[in-house]
């Protein structure tokens, strides 16, 4: 019988009459090898726990001449610090990333207009725009180098069970894995969340967003901007070279129509509808995404924890989605580490609830803030128009600017921390 050996992992074999099904025993099974799943696997490995990562699809390897990925993220300084600690940031820098130093938010044809600058919080940049596939690839390479982690790919999970104090994951090909804890990092349609009957509150917005990867004639590589119009926001995220990613919120039917246009027709329309600052563009690729908000009613059960989009999806308005997911993985690891030091059962619901208490509140707050922006700005109501323009104009005061930036950068995790810091 061939024996599969993974460092520090117990191996049990089941089956009879020539049918061999390895049951692999780990401390933690992470379902989903996306950005947050790989991050938490690396963080838990640093606690010397053995981890299996189950992922359906390996990210496409990076090639410099490769088309830009349509899915890009604005990574906050806190996320970059984490990626440095996980040995992934230098890998990203050898691939593609674009720093941005300014962030402008304004309303079409109104007086509210604010530009945040990295210097407002004493930094040289506010963050970096990086393609999701590149973040995933860099983390994948870092995790592959860790002896405590085994990535199983392709590995689609078929079933999850709780069995005599153990968590069991069964794969499509019949392999069974056991662990003390299953982490669901398997995205918005989480199979882990469904298997353990964790319900969600969910809201589909009336709009979708059209995303386009573009080449721009004018260089504007140090600024992200977002303009609010009564029909919905328009945004630009800079990418390396004279490139960028455009996001255009519109009614769902309209986005469907726009996605059907050929690239040059769409480029003409965008140049007519977007702010003149954009200048001439050529479209390299386009796609559309539904926007939705969903929040798991609980993040944990005995032996189960949800992180990232499996726990919450947020309006992509301020590009906070994956940054919140990385904060989840860090907090979960800290809670587990604390329980290990105190000799407690780190996979127990009582311990994991501490993670939920800290993260569910903070994520909910960010969701409500995004909703406030989204609904507050996407209409023509006159009192609201005055209020929001006053808000933008007021944001030009140094204290508010600094506070907004610290919160958006992940340098503090809640507005109350800001007040506390100020008193200190």
Ligand X SMILES: Cc1cc2nc3c(=O)[nH]c(=O)nc-3n(C[C@H](O)[C@H](O)[C@H](O)COP(=O)(O)OP(=O)(O)OC[C@H]3O[C@@H](n4cnc5c(N)ncnc54)[C@H](O)[C@@H]3O)c2cc1C
User: Burial code of 155-190, b = ≥16 C-beta within 10 A, e = fewer?
Assistant: bebeebeeeeeebbbbbeeebbbbbbbbbbbbbbeb
Question: Is residue 73 close enough to count as binding ligand X by CB under 6 A?
Answer: yes
The whole-angstrom separation of Cα 136 and Cα 142 is 10
Specify the 3-state DSSP secondary structure of 299.
coil
Question: Is residue 34 close enough to count as binding ligand X by CB under 6 A?
Answer: yes
Burial class (CB in 10 A: 0-12, 13-18, 19+), 5: exposed
- The distance of closest approach from Cβ of residue 18 to ligand X in the complex, given in angstroms and rounded to an integer, is 28
Q: In the numeric block, which tokens belong to residue 84?
A: 């440095």
Using CB under 6 A as the binding criterion, the count of chain residues that bind ligand X stands at 34
Sheet with 10-14, edge to edge strand ranges? 10-14, 21-25, 176-179, 166-171, 157-163
Question: Is residue 244 close enough to count as binding ligand X by CB under 6 A?
Answer: no
Q: In the numeric block, which tokens belong to residue 139?
A: 């983390």
| The one among 142, 323, 330, 333 contacting ligand X by CB under 6 A | 323
The whole-angstrom separation of Cα 96 and Cα 411 is 24
Question: Is residue 232 close enough to count as binding ligand X by CB under 6 A?
Answer: no
Query: Interface with ligand X by CB under 6 A: which range of 160-168, 252-260, 315-323, 401-409?
Result: 315-323
Question: Is residue 322 close enough to count as binding ligand X by CB under 6 A?
Answer: yes
For CA atoms 74, 76, 82, 84, the dihedral sign is positive
Question: Is residue 238 close enough to count as binding ligand X by CB under 6 A?
Answer: no
| The one among 82, 211, 283, 405 contacting ligand X by CB under 6 A | 211
Beta strands of 276-405 (E only): which ranges? 281-296, 300-301, 304-306, 312-313
The total of other beta-carbon atoms located within 10 Å of residue 106's CB is 18
Contacts of 198-201 with CB under 8 Å at 24 or more apart are 198/296, 198/297, 198/298, 198/301, 198/304, 198/306, 199/296, 199/297, 200/294, 200/295, 200/296, 200/297, 201/294, 201/295, 201/297
Q: In the numeric block, which tokens belong to residue 377?
A: 């700005």
Binding letters toward ligand X, positions 177-196, x by CB under 6 A: --------xxx---x-----
| The one among 45, 114, 157, 270 contacting ligand X by CB under 6 A | 157
Considering only CA atoms, which of 158, 189, 181, 133 is closest in space to residue 310?
189
| The one among 127, 238, 244, 308 contacting ligand X by CB under 6 A | 308
Question: Is residue 37 close enough to count as binding ligand X by CB under 6 A?
Answer: yes
Within 259-298, which residues bind ligand X (CB under 6 A)? 289
Query: Interface with ligand X by CB under 6 A: which range of 14-22, 30-38, 159-167, 383-391?
Result: 30-38
Question: Is residue 71 close enough to count as binding ligand X by CB under 6 A?
Answer: yes
Considering only CA atoms, which of 106, 115, 104, 110 is closest in space to residue 381?
110
- The distance of closest approach from Cβ of residue 309 to ligand X in the complex, given in angstroms and rounded to an integer, is 4
Q: Of the two residues 339 and 355, which places its CB atom closer to ligand X in the complex?
A: 355
DSSP code, position 406: H
Query: Interface with ligand X by CB under 6 A: which range of 44-52, 296-304, 319-327, 375-383?
Result: 319-327
Question: Is residue 209 close enough to count as binding ligand X by CB under 6 A?
Answer: yes
Question: Is residue 320 close enough to count as binding ligand X by CB under 6 A?
Answer: yes
Q: Of the two residues 316 and 339, which places its CB atom closer to ligand X in the complex?
A: 316
Within 119-148, which residues bind ligand X (CB under 6 A)? 132
Query: Interface with ligand X by CB under 6 A: which range of 42-50, 80-88, 160-168, 317-325?
Result: 317-325
Q: In the numeric block, which tokens belong to residue 327?
A: 């904060």
Query: Interface with ligand X by CB under 6 A: which range of 91-99, 256-264, 313-321, 392-400?
Result: 313-321
- What is the contact surface with ligand X in residues (CB under 6 A)? 31-37, 54-57, 71, 73-74, 132, 155-157, 185-187, 191, 209, 211, 289, 308-309, 316, 319-323, 325
């Amino acid at each position: 019988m061939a024996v599969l050996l993974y460092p520090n992992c117990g191996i049990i074999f089941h089956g009879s009459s020539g049918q061999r099904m390895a049951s692999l025993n780990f401390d933690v099974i992470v379902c989903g090898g996306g950005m947050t799943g790989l991050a938490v696997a690396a963080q838990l490995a640093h606690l010397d726990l053995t981890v299996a990562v189950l992922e359906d699809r390996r990210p496409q390897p990076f090639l410099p001449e490769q088309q830009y990925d349509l899915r890009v993220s604005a990574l906050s300084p806190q996320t970059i610090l984490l990626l440095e600690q996980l040995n992934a940031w230098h890998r990203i820098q050898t691939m593609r990333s674009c720093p941005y130093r300014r962030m402008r938010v304004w309303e079409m044809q109104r007086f509210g207009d604010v530009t945040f600058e990295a210097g407002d919080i004493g930094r040289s940049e506010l963050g970096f725009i990086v393609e999701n596939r590149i973040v995933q690839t860099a983390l994948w390479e870092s995790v592959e180098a860790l002896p405590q982690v085994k990535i199983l790919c392709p590995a689609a999970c078929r079933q999850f069970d709780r069995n005599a104090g153990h968590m069991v994951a069964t794969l499509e090909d019949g392999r069974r894995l056991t662990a003390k804890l299953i982490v669901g990092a398997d995205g918005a349609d989480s199979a882990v969340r469904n298997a353990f009957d964790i319900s969600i509150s969910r809201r589909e917005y009336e709009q979708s967003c059209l995303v386009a990867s573009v080449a721009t004639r004018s260089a504007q590589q140090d600024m992200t901007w977002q303009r609010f119009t009564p029909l919905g926001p328009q945004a630009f995220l800079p990418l390396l070279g004279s490139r960028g990613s455009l996001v255009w919120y519109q009614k769902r039917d309209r986005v469907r129509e726009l996605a059907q246009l050929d690239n040059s027709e769409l480029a003409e329309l965008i140049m007519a509808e977007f702010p003149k600052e954009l200048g001439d563009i050529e479209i390299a690729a386009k796609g559309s995404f539904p926007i939705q908000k969903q929040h798991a009613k609980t993040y944990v059960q005995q032996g189960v924890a949800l992180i990232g989009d499996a726990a919450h999806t947020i309006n992509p308005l301020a590009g906070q989605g994956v940054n919140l997911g990385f904060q989840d993985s860090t907090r979960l690891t800290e809670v587990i580490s604390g329980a290990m030091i105190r000799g407690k059962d780190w996979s127990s619901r009582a311990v994991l609830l501490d993670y939920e208490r800290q993260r569910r509140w903070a994520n909910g707050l960010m969701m409500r803030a995004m909703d406030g922006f989204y609904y507050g700005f996407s209409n023509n109501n006159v009192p609201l128009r005055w209020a929001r323009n006053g808000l933008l104009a007021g944001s030009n005061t140094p204290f508010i600017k600094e506070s907004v930036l610290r919160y958006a950068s992940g340098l503090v995790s809640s507005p109350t921390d800001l007040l506390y810091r100020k008193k200190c």
